[in-house]
């Protein structure tokens, strides 16, 4: 199996190459409607990548992937399935593309922390003036009091 190349991006400036022997491919029959001689080819592709035991990742990259994809990992293994296409070759390339994009997104560093700021005096005054104006509008909608 050919190596998987992950495009350069934030947190991964040089790109990343995952050796083909670290990715496991399995093929099975795709589900769907069919009759005689339909869906008899093994067109579904399942790719598995063991994040915990990969030699292609640095310690920092491994930690980022584990933290970002914690809900998708089962025993430290990331699994991607593709069965949209009728062709095994197209499903294979789609699964490889999805795996590369998922890992590229997981390798991005966390965004910088937000610095707390205060509202400006003008914005506070405008907000309060708008509230008073709205309250006056609603008050004018009331029925006039009955004078007996």
Q: Average per-residue pLDDT in the chain?
A: 88
Structural domains of the chain, with CATH: 4-31+40-106 (3.30.160.20)
> DSSP assignment, residue 114?
P
pLDDT above 90 (res 35): no
Of 44, 46, 1, the residue nearest 22 (C-alpha): 1
**What is the tens place of the pLDDT at every residue in 112-133?**
999 999 999 999 999 999 999 9
Give me the pLDDT at residue 86, please. Answer: 81
Write the pLDDT tens digit of every residue in 58-72.
899 999 999 999 999
Interatomic CA distance for residues 26 and 19, integer angstroms: 17
What is the percentage of the chain residues whose pLDDT exceeds 90? 55
The position carrying tokens 């937000």 is: 114
């Amino acid at each position: 199996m050919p190596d998987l190349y992950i495009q350069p991006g934030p947190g991964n400036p040089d790109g990343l190459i995952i050796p083909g022997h670290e990715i496991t491919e399995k093929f099975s029959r795709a589900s769907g409607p069919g009759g005689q001689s339909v869906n008899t080819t093994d067109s579904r592709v399942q790719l598995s990548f063991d994040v915990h035991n990969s030699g292609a990742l640095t310690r920092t990259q491994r930690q980022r992937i584990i933290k970002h994809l914690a809900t998708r990992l089962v025993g430290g293994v990331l699994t991607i399935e593709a069965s949209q296409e009728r062709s095994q070759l197209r499903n294979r390339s789609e699964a490889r593309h999805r795996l590369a994009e998922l890992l590229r997104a997981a390798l991005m560093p966390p965004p910088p922390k937000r610095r707390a700021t205060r509202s400006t005096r003008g914005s506070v005054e405008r907000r309060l003036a708008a509230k008073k104006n709205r309250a006056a509008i609603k008050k004018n909608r009331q029925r006039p009091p009955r004078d007996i």
